[in-house]
Each structure stands twice: as C-alpha cells, then as structure tokens.
Amino acid sequence: MRLPRFEYIEPRTLKEAANALAADSKGSVLLAGGTDLLVSMKQRVIQPKRVINLKTIPRLAYISNGKEGLRIGALTTLHDLSLSRTIREQYPALTEAAKEVGAYAHQVMGTIGGNLCQGNRCRFYNQSAFWRGVRRLCFKAGGEICHVVRKPKECHSTYCGDLAPVLMALDSRIKILGPHGERALPLKRLFTRDGKRPLSLKKGEVLKEILIPEPSGKTLYLKWRLRGSLEFPVVSLALHIEKGTNGAIEGARIIFSGVGPGPVEALEAEKMMVNGLLDEEMIEKVSDQAVREISPMRTSIHSPAFKRKIAGILLRQALEQMMKS
Amino acid sequence: MNKFNVVGKREPMLDALDKATGRARFTDDLSLPGMLYGKILRSPLPHAKILYVDLSGAEKATGVKAAISGKDIPKKKYGIVPMAKDEYALAIDKVRYIGDEVAAVVATSLDAAEEAISKIHVDYEELPAVFDPLEAMKPGAPIIHDEVPNNVSATIRKEFGDVEKAFAQSDFIFEDTFETQAVNHCPLEPQAALAMVDHSGKVTLWSSTQIPFFLRRNLATTLDIPESMVRIIKPKVGGGFGQKIDLYAKDFCAAFFAMKTKRPVKFVYEREEVFTSTRQRHPMHIQLKTGMKKDGTILAQQFKVVADGGAYNSTAPLMITLACFFIMLPYRIENLLFEGFHVYTNKPVGGAMRGHGIPQVRFAVEAQLDTIAEKMGIDPLDLRLKNAFQAGEPHPAKLLVQSCGFSDTLIKAAEEIGWKEKRGKLPFGRGVGLAGASFPSGVSNMSHISSGAVVKIERDGAITLLTGAADIGQGAETVISQIVAEELGVSLKEIRITAADTEITPLDPGTFGSGVTLRAGNAARIAAQVAKEKLFEAVAEKMEVEARDLEAKDHRIFVKANPEKGMSLEEAIKVYQYSDRPMPIIGRGSYQPPAKEPTTLLKEDGNFSPAYSFMTQAAEVEVDTRTGKVKVLKMVTAHDCGRAINPMLVEGQLEGSVVGGMGQALYEEVITEKGQVLNPSFLDYGIPTAMEVPPITSVEVETNDPEGPFGAKESGEGTQLSPAPAIINAIYDAIGVSFNSLPVTPERVLEALQKKDKR
Amino acid sequence: MKRILKLHVNGEDFEILTEIHKTLLEVLREDLGLTGTKRGCDLGTCGACTVLIDGKPHLSCLTLTADVQGKKITTIEGLAQDGQLHPLQKAFAEKGAIQCGFCTPGMILTAKALLDEDPHPSEEKVKKAISGNLCRCTGYVKIVDAILSVTDKSSES
C-alpha cells in the first residue's frame, strides 16, 4: 500500500511547526515516530496535504530531573524511556508500559508524545480503503453513521494507548506549545472522550513536554492482550495508591485503557478507597465498582462483556499485588 | 550408527547463506526493464451480478497502460482439480465473495495503478448471499454457482465393514458435534507474479508458486494458449503451506497484460488480499458417532462432515476425500462410515492447507477419544495404544501400511510429557494431553503425480542435478541434493542444483501432499544411479571387475570387497572419456509412486499412498482460570518420518508445524461478518509470536520405509494434524472442560468455566 | 513531489531523486536495488522490513525516506564486513534458523540490534526482542537457539 502524496515540511523549531500546523490545521499532520500515522495514511483513513516532521527539530527528546519532578521531551522514544535508569528507579510502571507497546522496533520508533496522541481505534475504522468501502462511510471517517452503535453522529472508537493510563496515574501534566505561546494542563485534560476528536489540542498546538511529579506512593501497570507482543491492549490498567503512615489509603487512581473513547478513570471506585484499608473486602468492592464506570464497546474483535470482565480481573490482580507489597 | 555419509547429516540448507545475506531473490525482488505494475479491483459485495464495468476513468489516468475486466479475458474456467473447475481469473458473470476479482490495471508505477483502480466504476445488482454452509445446503438458499443448485459441490460417502451392525453390537455409543474455524496460512511472503512475453508470444512467468507444472497447465488454460507457450520459473518462495498451490488472478493478470502490452508486468498482493482473496483452511462442522466395546476397542465410527468451501472449489473434491481417508488411520476402525460435503458460501475460499482437510476431523476424533476415555474410565493413552494400527495389518480400506511407528510415537511422546506422573494428577488449571495422527507421503498411481530428475556428472567431478521439485522454504533442494550426493559418494557441496523451471527441469507435481522427498527424492536417486552405472561400466572394464561389484563413496569408486582397489571420481571420469564413451555422463530418472492395489483415490478404494507417516503430539498447559488465558508450557512431537535425510530440517519442519497447530488451537481465526473478513491483518489475526512458543521436544521415531529414498517418509505436514487436539485434551485435563470448537480463546474458556460452576 | 535525498546506506553514500511520499522500504528496494529488505505486511506488524538506523531496528515500511537523511542505515546486504559474515548470519544458517528466509533479514537485524545493546540477553529477552518479527516456518525455536549461540560465543572470547 503506497502512501498518498503530500507536501513534506521539516520545521527547525517547535514554534515553526506550530505555525505551520496553524496555517492549515485540517490538512496537516504531525509526524513523530510514524508507527500510527503512516499506517493510517496508507489505509487512507487520513489523507493529509502536508506532513510536518517533528523529528528534525533539535532538543525535543530528553529525560531530565528537575525540582518539580521529571521532565520528558515529547519526542523521547519509548525505547529510551524503557532504558532510562531514572525512570526505572522512580517510575517503574512507566518503564513497564513503554516495554509493552508494540514490539522492539515500534518502541525504537514510537515517541512518548506520539503514543499519548495516537488515534482512537475501531475495527470499522482502522482498515484499508477497500475494506471500508464495503460499508457506508462511518462518522469518524467523515460519514453519518457509526457501525458500533447505530446512532448518527456519534463515534465510539476506543483509546488504546499504553502510556496515558500510567502517566495519568502518576498525575502528570503536559506542556503544549501553540502559535500563541505555551500552556500547561493535567494530562487527563488532553483527552476529550469524543471518539471523532479525541484530543483537546487547539489549532496549531503541539505537545511539547510531559511533567511527572516527584514519585510518591506506588504505581502498577497491567496490560491484557491475547499474545505476548505486538497487540494494543485489549484492556490495560494503571493503579496508583498512596498510603498514610497508619496504612490507610490517602489517595488512589484507577485508570483504564481500551475500554472507552479516552483513558477511563474510575472516579467513584477511587473515592471508595480513600481512608480505607486495602483488604479482601475492599478489593471486591472497588473492582466491582470500577467496572461499572467503564464503557467498552464492540470496537475490536473482543466482546464488551469480556473486556469488562478482564478489566475487573486486572484491577483485582493489581490491588492484590499492592496489598501483598 | 549412520552408515551414510551425507544422508542423515544435519546439513544447513544450500541457500541458507543467500537468505542470510539478502542475496536470495523472491518474486517481488525481481524486476525487468520497462516493467509495469498491476493492481486488482475487488468486489465489495458478497454476491452480485456484474452489470457493467466502466474502465474509462482508469484508462485515462496518468501512467495507466491498460485496464481489463472479466469480459476482456478468455472464457476459460480453471481449478486445481480438473473435475472441479469453477473459477475465472476475473469474475465474468457475477461476484461471489467480498474480494472476488472484478477488474485490473497496469501502470508505469504502483502509485498510478493504485490510484487508477479507484477510478473504475462497477454497476452491480446485489443478490441474496449465504454465509453459513448448513443454511446454504437447505432448499431455497441462494445459489452461488448455477451448475450446483444445492451449493454442494463435492461429496464423498465411504463405508467399510457394517456400521449399523457394529453400532448395534457396541457397549457404548458417543455422539458429539465439533466446529473448526477458518485459518489463514500466513506465508510471510505475499503472493507475487512477474511475467514477460517474447516475440514468439511465449510467456515466462516468475511466480510465488509451490506447484510450477500445475500452474503452467492452469495458466495456459486461462490464457487459452498451448501449454508449451508458457514457462514457469519459481524463484525463492517465502512459505506456502498449501496457499501457493492455486493459480491466482495475479498470475493470470501478469501474463495477460504482458501479452497485451508487450511489456513485463508485475503483480504483488497486499497482506489484506492474502487474507481475503487467496485460500484458507476450510471451517468444518463435524458430527461424530463412535461405538465402543467395553474393553476399549473402537468398533465403529460414523462421520458427517460439512466443509465451508467459500465461493469456489479450489481443491474441494480432494480435500473432502483426504478428510475421509485419513480418518482411517492411525487407529484400527473396522466399521466406518464417512459422509462429507463441500458447500459453497459467499465467503473467502477454502483450499489446501498443511494437513489438507484432515486436521479438522482429526481434532474431532482426538477430542472425543479423551471424553470417551474419561467416561469409560480408561487412560487416554491406553485407549489409543489399544486401537493403534500396526504395520502389515490388513486395512479395511485396503491401505498398505508397510512401516508404522505409531505405537512407538504414543509411548515416547507420553514419556517425554510425563504422562504417568501428570495426567489427572496436576493441580486444577494444569494438564497434559496427547493426540495421534497419520499422513500420506504423496499420492500413488496417478501419472501426473510423477517426478523426473536429471543427474549429470561433470568433467571436473561436480554433479549437476535438475529437479522439478519446488522448494518453498522447507529445504527440498537440500534434501534431494543429499540423496544424490549419497548415491554418488560425493559431498553435498559438489552438487549444483537447478530446480522448478518448467522449461529446464523435468516434470514434478510440486510441493503438496507431502510427497516431495519421496517422489522427487526417488527420481533423483534413480537418475544418480543411472549416471553412476554408466561410470561404473567404464571403470569396471578398465579394472577388469564386474560393474556390480563397485561402490562409490568418499569421492572414490572402488571394489566393494576390496576398498583399496579403486580410483578417485576424477580418474574414473577420465577413464570413461578415454574409453570412447559418449559425454556427458548423464542419468535420467522418472518415478511414479507404485500402487500394489490400484486406486484412483476419488473413485476406487485401495492403497493410495506409497508410504504413511505416523505421529503423536503431546502438550502440557496452564490455564489461568481468572482470565481464561491458556499458556502452553511444553509441546512434544514424536514423528515416524522413516529415515530423516536431514534431521535438522526435519526438526525445523516439526517445530514450525507444531507452532502453527498451537495457533489454530488458541489464537487464530479468520472472522467474517456477512462475508467480510474482520481481521485481515497481523495485528488482529493472531499468528503466534516468539513469546507464545514453549519448549518443543522432537522425538524421532525412525522406521525404514521400503519405498522411501533411503527409507524416508513425510515430515512436517502431518505434524499439524494433532497439536490442536493435544492442547485441547490438555485443557480438558486441566479444567475438566472439553472444547468442541476452535480456537479456544480466553473468552470461551471463561464462558465454559462459568457454565461449569453453575452446574 | 520529487526531491533529491542523500542517504547513507551500508557505508555508501547515495544521492537519489525520488518521490517524497516513498517509504524507506520502497526506496531501498526500488531505487537502490537492495531487495534483501522484505515487504511482508507493509503496515508495521510483521517485522520483515526491519532495517537498522543508527544501529537500532526500524520498520522501513513505516519510515519516510526523507526522515532518515544523514543517518546510518544498515540493511541485510550491509551486515557482512569485508567479506566476513556476521556471526548471526552464520549461526542462522548453521543452526537451521532459516527456512523460507523471508523473515530472515529483519530477524537477523533485530537480533543484531539486541546483541549490540545487551551482548548476553536471557532467552526471554531474546524472545521479546524478536516478537515483532513474525515467522511462520520455524516456530522460532531454532531462531532463538541461533541468537543465543552467538551470545555464548562472545562470552567465551
């Protein structure tokens, strides 16, 4: 499958990239690792007029410890993340998540920024032009209907990123650069939960940096897929728990991937945990609650009921691991 | 002790270094000056009449040199089995599945070709479609091919013994229904073809085929030109597993456009096309009834098998016949009734795949045997041993089994998996299982299933070997060269092999039915013997001994009884030349597998293979009872392949085949919805990665088959018959659930465990 | 749109005029005649097109050629040095790790990148590293053996 024709731009600074993007935000795409973008382009899911390559911009790939925590440049590759000693020592769950993306070459090519900003996925959307031509054009691809849920003008595609749950569990913030300057926001606000436009980036905005606060508490990442490699998570889970000196839980974050139009945080389940003790009873209660807060759809070959089941099992496993440690 | 010098050695494949350095050329690696690139437009509808194809948009597009649709091609049907031809290279009257070929273009670049096919407009009249073979068999179902009004395009009914009486005499009767899934072969190399036409109109086609001589015949038919005007050359082929047996639109289109444009033309499939528009393993619906005596004797078996053939026949009659015949081994079943139906549906097309119709039915038999064993309180291993067929026994269907190591494979596989210590004794969630099988080494008694070979002894002592055998990565060229080297007493590096070029190399049926080593190996051995005898004559004359007293070994020719007395091969060649005998020293061999009992396979009973291999697969699994995921901890494969000509290559065959079988047990399924393949990619269709592979132990059970070259038989294909049931039986041991359908996904495991809890 | 691109492949410099939307896989195979790099799925899920860029494995089917100008590109054709096969090439051939050979170039290059990073990986690590390189012939057993055999040799020396 050949790539469609496009104009190719190599900006020298991020500002230049942002301006180029703003000049034609609908017809332009940003290229980072390319493992998501180029597949979509080959399949003609997107046919941009212009490709703006971020990789030729210097100093966008870094991992540096500062006083607010760890700063990671958006162009840092997943492979570099997984090799970083700092990350392995301070945020081992992030190392794990990076090592679970695709396979070796995907990790070498893929970047943290690209991984966070990857497109939502759907079995009716991430297919070739021929395949999609068998059915009516779906809403996400520019048509009127959704093949997952037969309602017009709604898209139920699924967010399947590995890193977002962990980084959200770590309470990360992101720095975004646009034509009008920089802004910072909590990572979770990057995601709109709108399948058609899953990211909240405004016209010309580019993800520049990820900030992870000083390590505290304990974080786990568990990913479930059929085979031990290559696949996106069928369901994955990041769990973060902070305990007080008396052993009571002071804060918890439960974030899933693969079960909604963005990373899904089980807020009610999190609340249930606060001030409690991590025991069998709580594990039962919390995992039952959490699966009520997710909304898996039939966007992959796995059934929603099964995804829900696995989500519960993953959370139970993670909580048990936390209890034992 | 290996009494041979080259046979039985772990020799690397002759072309391994070419493949390790990137020098090996596959079809898509070839290009010719002025070459055009082609693309095929495929049907988006599962069943429709083609009303009109408007090519004008494509024809006008930049770079496009020609465009055709079905009405532009000779109205000649093709099919790999002559009696079951039902396909045009491009659809003429109607399309029968999503992905069926409608039109094609060639252009000066792939970009232009891809763009051009989107500019072809086709008017269809949509027809009702049918996707379930059981529905398709019912009266009133949509008719997919007018000539076959009930959609049943091939049937077989065979009965041996007296089944009705045997069931009446049975102490226990077991009846179960099984379902198997569609499986794609997934060769790593997608199908490709490159064609060139010379001034005389002769077509040369380089193709990713595993069956060049049949391709020549089929291509000539579809192009409507004499067979002699077609030359097929097989470059390196990146795996086939049966999928590269058929002629595809890419072969026809490359040749047809090359004739039309007078320029070389290349067509290469996308991975999606490999999934939707080549071939797949037939899904089957199997009803199995087994009658048992109290002592564990299988008294009778009755099968009703419905194979979902998809839109066309491909190998249909052969497939359903093989399914029948190979259920008659490796167990002794005196009374057997098999009814098989190949049914058209508006789905991707079934074809030959490693095991060819047999793994599906094997799965049913082997899974049921374990539930029978459980219910009757017999150890599943003992049950199999009790009914295991033995060499030389009379067979109810007149199969002639001259060598049979089946019982041995059972015992050794069981030992290796730790059967005695583990079966029924592991904690809940862990289990072991095993399953047996048998497979032919090619098919006898059909003259087009003959192999030829030419062996030339060159002036410098090197050996030139011409064989029609099609190496698709299994190492056929290496194995055949080893046979020739052994016969001529030279080392493997002296052999120069040219293979699989229909104009240069002698006839060979190609790589299917596991007959290559036996057929092409025997032909090459005969050719080597003939060449050797010519040399022996001259040497004998010079040494004043009898030719029959000579032997060739270690690059020398000498008197058997007195090895000191002899000369080097080079000297012998000189002796030959100075004796005024004609050069070159050349031997020709033709080999047709003999049949002591005549059979035509499809019509008469009798022995249809020159040799039968036997095997047992054993598995140990761990089932995560929370998530339903099954992890295979260990696989054992015990295989009676006669004498292994190259044990390293045999192991490679077994290991690859076992992992393929694991995929079919646990991960792989071509899922369709209204005829559309939902997972036409390696992301969504889960062939095992290195992460899934457990330790695999290969246990060789060597027998010496009188018919095989140096005693060799099939290896690698039969191996794929029983890994799936071995794993399913291990899961049964682990969690007490016997699965009747494949693949056993975590979702199905969880459902089953839940049901079990409720009971 | 065509552009002149400067590429450094297997120690040689190339200047080619080519379409900007061509992937590295397409340029290697079509413009440079380096057909050792294989096209198995074209969508980044089989690993057959793997090449090394600055020593690290990349899927050339998902790499824009313009993007790798100035970088050191190594394909299977460039792995042997001064006529000396790389130990992995020898091990793959001798241990029976090659059957049809279509996955072999990508597999060997991936293994090389791994061994350059970690000369003594565990069996699990080897499996994980090559898990994006699909093989349908061998069942991976002999491939893993071949890779591990090279690590053994380097530990001996």
Q: What is the CATH number of the domain that holds C139?
A: 1.10.150.120
Chain center to CA of A197: 14
List of chain B residues whose C-beta atoms are within 8 Å of the C-beta of residue C126: 690
Cross-chain Cβ contact B747/A303 below 8 Å: yes
In tens, the pLDDT along A282-295 reads: 999 999 999 999 99
- The radius of gyration computed from the CA coordinates of chain A, to the nearest angstrom, equals 20
List of chain A residues whose C-beta atoms are within 8 Å of the C-beta of residue C133: 103
Token pair for A2? 């050949």
In tens, the pLDDT along A45-80 reads: 999 999 999 999 999 999 999 888 999 999 999 999
Chain center to CA of B276: 19
- For chain A, say whether B272 makes contact (Cβ under 8 Å): yes
Into how many domains does chain C fold? Answer: 2
Q: Provide the residue range defining the domain that includes C119.
A: 87-156
pLDDT above 80 (res B264): yes
For B684, the 3-state DSSP assignment is: coil
Residue among A159, A60, A166 nearest A113 (CA): A60
C40, C45, C104 ranked by CB distance to B19: nearest: C104
Q: Is the preceding omega at residue B330 within 30 degrees of 0, hence cis?
A: yes
- What pLDDT shows up at residue B384? 98
C-alpha distance from residue C23 to each of A3, A127, B109, C123 (Å): 8, 19, 15, 33
Q: Which class in CATH covers the domain with range B280-444+599-758?
A: alpha beta
pLDDT above 80 (res A226): yes
Average pLDDT over residues B516-520: 88
Q: Would you list the DSSP string of B139-175?
A: TTPPPSSTT-TTSEEEEEEEEES-HHHHHHH-SEEEE
Q: Closest approach of chain C CAs to the CA of A31, in angstroms?
A: 10
Cross-chain Cβ contact A226/B667 below 8 Å: yes
- Class of residue A115 by CB neighbours under 10 A (exposed 0-12, middle 13-18, buried 19+): buried
List of chain A residues whose C-beta atoms are within 8 Å of the C-beta of residue B98: 134
> Which one has a higher pLDDT value, B592 or A122?
A122
- Indicate the CATH number for domain B31-127+188-239+244-277: 3.90.1170.50
d(CA B177, CA B327): 16
Task: Give residue B537's identity as a one-letter amino acid code.
Answer: E
In tens, the pLDDT along C7-63 reads: 999 999 999 999 999 999 999 999 999 999 999 999 999 999 999 999 999 999 999
List of chain C residues whose C-beta atoms are within 8 Å of the C-beta of residue B16: 92-94, 98, 101
- What pLDDT shows up at residue C112? 98
Task: Please enumerate in sequence order all residues whose Cβ is within 8 A of that of B164, keeping only pairs 6 or more positions apart, or say none.
Answer: none
Cross-chain Cβ contact A2/B110 below 8 Å: yes
Residue among C23, B272, C19, C129 nearest A34 (CA): C23
- What pLDDT shows up at residue C156? 44
- Indicate the CATH number for domain B16-23+450-591: 3.30.365.10
C-alpha distance from residue B592 to each of A148, A159, B392 (Å): 57, 60, 22
Q: Closest approach of chain C CAs to the CA of B188, in angstroms?
A: 6
pLDDT above 50 (res A210): yes
pLDDT above 90 (res B374): yes
H or E element, residue B277? helix B271-277
- What pLDDT shows up at residue B735? 97
Cross-chain Cβ contact C66/A8 below 8 Å: yes
Q: Closest approach of chain C CAs to the CA of A48, in angstroms?
A: 12
Paired residues of B579 in beta bridges: none
In tens, the pLDDT along B304-335 reads: 999 999 999 999 999 998 899 888 899 999 99
CB B694 within 8 A of CB C123: no
Enumerate chain A positions whose Cβ falls within 8 A of a Cβ in B.
1-2, 5, 103, 123, 127-131, 133-135, 224, 226-232, 300-303, 306, 309-310, 313, 316-317
d(CA B557, CA B565): 9
Question: Cα-flanking dihedrals φ and ψ of residue B596, to 5°?
Answer: -70, -30
Nearest-by-CA chain C residue for A39 = C43
Query: What ipTM score was computed for the predicted complex, to two decimals?
Result: 0.97
> Of B498-502, B538-542, B600-604, where does mean pLDDT reach its minimum?
B600-604
- What pLDDT shows up at residue A5? 96
- What pLDDT shows up at residue C129? 98
Q: Which of residues 41-100 of B touch A (CB under 8 A)?
A: 42, 44-45, 98
Domain boundary among C55, C78, C101: C78
d(CA B198, CA B406): 53
A1, A134, A232 ranked by CB distance to B44: nearest: A134
- What pLDDT shows up at residue C21? 97
Q: pLDDT over 70 for what percent of chain B?
A: 97
Q: Closest approach of chain A CAs to the CA of C39, in angstroms?
A: 10
Q: pLDDT over 70 for what percent of chain A?
A: 100
In tens, the pLDDT along A138-170 reads: 999 989 999 999 888 889 999 999 999 999 999
pLDDT above 80 (res A265): yes
Cross-chain Cβ contact C142/B651 below 8 Å: yes
pLDDT above 90 (res B702): no
For B196, the 3-state DSSP assignment is: strand
A2, A135, A302 ranked by CB distance to B111: nearest: A2
In tens, the pLDDT along A97-116 reads: 999 999 999 999 999 999 99
- Chosen CATH of A218-324 out of 3.90.1300.10, 3.40.50.300, 1.10.3720.10, 3.30.390.50: 3.30.390.50
CB A156 within 8 A of CB A149: yes
- Class of residue C2 by CB neighbours under 10 A (exposed 0-12, middle 13-18, buried 19+): exposed
- Which site among A3, A104, A127 would you substitute to test the C interface, given the most C Cβ atoms closer than 10 Å to its Cβ? A104
Task: Please enumerate in sequence order all residues whose Cβ is within 8 A of that of B519, keeping only pairs 6 or more positions apart, or say none.
Answer: B442, B449, B450, B451, B469, B508, B509, B591, B593
Cβ count within 10 A of residue B337: 21
d(CA B316, CA B63): 40
C37, C99, C130 ranked by CB distance to B474: nearest: C99
Mean pLDDT, all residues of chain B: 94
Q: Which of residues 615-654 of B touch C (CB under 8 A)?
A: 648-649, 651-652
List of chain C residues whose C-beta atoms are within 8 Å of the C-beta of residue B111: 19
CATH number, residue C47: 3.10.20.30
Most distant pair of Cα atoms in chain B: their distance: 89
pLDDT above 70 (res C152): no
- What pLDDT shows up at residue B593? 78
d(CA C131, CA A102): 9
For B652, the 3-state DSSP assignment is: helix
List of chain B residues whose C-beta atoms are within 8 Å of the C-beta of residue C99: 13, 239, 473-475, 652, 656
Token pair for B670? 């071509």
In tens, the pLDDT along B147-199 reads: 999 999 999 999 989 999 999 999 999 999 999 999 999 999 999 999 999 99
Q: Closest approach of chain B CAs to the CA of C157, in angstroms?
A: 24
Cross-chain Cβ contact C21/A42 below 8 Å: no
pLDDT above 80 (res B206): yes
- What pLDDT shows up at residue B1? 46
Residues C48 and C27 in one domain: yes
How many degrees, rounded to 5, is the angle at CA B496 between CA B492 and CA B501? 130
Cross-chain Cβ contact B678/A301 below 8 Å: yes
Cross-chain Cβ contact B655/C37 below 8 Å: no
In tens, the pLDDT along B425-483 reads: 999 999 999 999 998 877 764 556 789 999 999 998 899 999 999 999 999 999 999 99
Q: pLDDT over 90 for what percent of chain B?
A: 85
- What pLDDT shows up at residue C157? 41
Question: Cα-flanking dihedrals φ and ψ of residue B81, to 5°?
Answer: -105, 120
d(CA A297, CA A147): 11
- Which site among B126, B747, B751, B754 would you substitute to test the A interface, given the most A Cβ atoms closer than 10 Å to its Cβ? B747
Mean pLDDT, all residues of chain C: 95
Beta strands in B180-226 (DSSP E): 183-184, 192-197, 203-207
CATH 3.90.1170.50 domain locations along chain B:
31-127+188-239+244-277
In tens, the pLDDT along B88-126 reads: 999 999 999 999 999 999 999 999 999 999 999 999 999
Cβ count within 10 A of residue A26: 7
List of chain C residues whose C-beta atoms are within 8 Å of the C-beta of residue B21: 36, 76-77, 79-80, 85, 89
Paired residues of A178 in beta bridges: A181
Cross-chain Cβ contact C57/A34 below 8 Å: no
Q: Which of residues 108-147 of C touch A (CB under 8 A)?
A: 110, 113-114, 128-133
- What pLDDT shows up at residue B280? 98
Mark out the alpha helices in A161-303 (DSSP H runs): 163-169, 267-273, 280-292
Strands B676-677 and B672-673: antiparallel
CATH 3.30.365.10 domain locations along chain B:
16-23+450-591, 280-444+599-758
Q: Closest approach of chain A CAs to the CA of C70, in angstroms?
A: 11
- What pLDDT shows up at residue B513? 73
Residue among B91, B85, B136 nearest B342 (CA): B136
C-alpha distance from residue B311 to each of A9, A226, B73, B277, B720 (Å): 47, 30, 20, 10, 25
In tens, the pLDDT along B333-359 reads: 999 999 999 999 999 999 999 999 999
Q: Would you list the DSSP string of B449-494?
A: S-EEEEEEE-TTS-EEEEE----SSS-HHHHHHHHHHHHHT--GGG
- What pLDDT shows up at residue B612? 86
pLDDT above 80 (res B217): yes
pLDDT above 60 (res B406): yes
H or E element, residue B3? none
Confidence label for B602 from pLDDT (cuts 50, 70 and 90): low
List of chain C residues whose C-beta atoms are within 8 Å of the C-beta of residue A225: none
Residues C103 and C41 in one domain: no
- For chain C, say whether A109 makes contact (Cβ under 8 Å): yes
In chain C, the N- to C-terminal Cα span, in Å, equals: 52
- What pLDDT shows up at residue B613? 87
Nearest-by-CA chain C residue for A83 = C117
d(CA B455, CA B521): 12
Confidence label for B595 from pLDDT (cuts 50, 70 and 90): low
Mean pLDDT, all residues of chain A: 96
Cross-chain Cβ contact A309/B750 below 8 Å: yes
Task: Give residue C157's identity as a one-letter amino acid code.
Answer: S
B272, B676, B684 ranked by CB distance to A301: nearest: B684
d(CA B180, CA B280): 12
